A = this chain, B = another copy of it.
């Protein structure tokens, strides 16, 4: 009986790898470099090589391995095909077929944010639930929708692309997607820093943030913890945008739990204080008791979720 599986999380600079027991325990974690040169043609062969080397190193047999799950930074359809992944310099790649051929193992592929959400459901902030919205607050805002324990990939691979929910009609700057007023422009690390800069410029109120040359989301939430009035205003603005948006998402899929992760979530439970209030005030009354949790797996969520895909 197969007792092992691999979880692979392909990023623009490193590929995170994990060897798991099928009961969920991680036995080994390691990283290799992402070689994006020559249209990223070495990425999947490098993944195959490191997997096969690990099988040899651990004295496993291929029949001991259930399969390989892999998350990639781009849209992935049901068949495991990626039309394009700009960060990997990929055009069309059939990940499932190519990595399957290279390894002789069963492969499943998913979008990295969706896969990370599945990881958090399995062994992180969403443990014990089946229906979850995960929002990842990093440089951008990513997300993943899990219903009945399964990723909602979407007809265009855009399921859970909640960072691009339109939330503001007045935003003049364009989002990376080309639209104006996306949630990502207000609730990402970059978005929070921009809210802070705008407020510092328009207000004369003293603030510990004024001493910083490069204001980041961390600057803001550190200042919030010191009781800085302007930083608290920024956190409130951020919380209004994110809490209201989550309230809208909740009347669509009505999850059991909303999990917040990404670099910004390192601010800790204080982050939830600013999001949960606006959520509860704006969501459909029966959804008001929806649970909130912080993500727990950090950068490992991707390898956990990838492994879970093949179990």
A255–B156 CA distance with the chains assembled, in angstroms: 8
A284 at the B interface (CB under 8 A): yes
CA distance A237 to B244 in the complex (A): 21
| Nearest-Cβ distance from residue A276 to partner chain B, whole angstroms | 15
CA distance A250 to B177 in the complex (A): 15
Query: Which of A75, A154, A164 is packed against the most chain B CB atoms within 10 Å?
Result: A154
Write the chain B residue with the least CB distance to A150.
Answer: B148
User: How many of chain A's residues have a CB under 8 angstroms from any CB in B?
Assistant: 44
- A164 and B284 in contact, given A131-B154, A147-B147 (Cβ under 8 angstroms): yes
Contact of A254 among B158, B163, B285 (CB under 8 A): B158
7 pairs of residues in contact across A and B, judged by CB atoms under 8 Å: A131-B154, A147-B147, A164-B251, A166-B283, A167-B248, A179-B284, A179-B285
How far is the CB of A301 from the nearest CB of chain B, in Å? 20
Q: Shortest Cβ distance from A117 into chain B, in angstroms? A: 13
Complex contact A253–B284 (CB within 8 A) = no
Chain B residues positioned under 8 Å from A166 (CB to CB): 244, 247-248, 282-283
Beta-carbon nearest neighbor of A148 in chain B: B150
Chain B residues with CB under 8 Å of A131's CB are 154-155
Contact A152 B147 (CB under 8 A): yes
Cβ A254 vs Cβ B152 within 8 A: yes
Instruction: Decide if B284 touches A254 in the complex (CB within 8 Å).
Output: no
- With an 8 A cutoff between CB atoms, is A223 at the interface? no
B282 x A179 contact (CB < 8 A): yes
Contact indicator B253/A154 (Cβ below 8 Å): yes
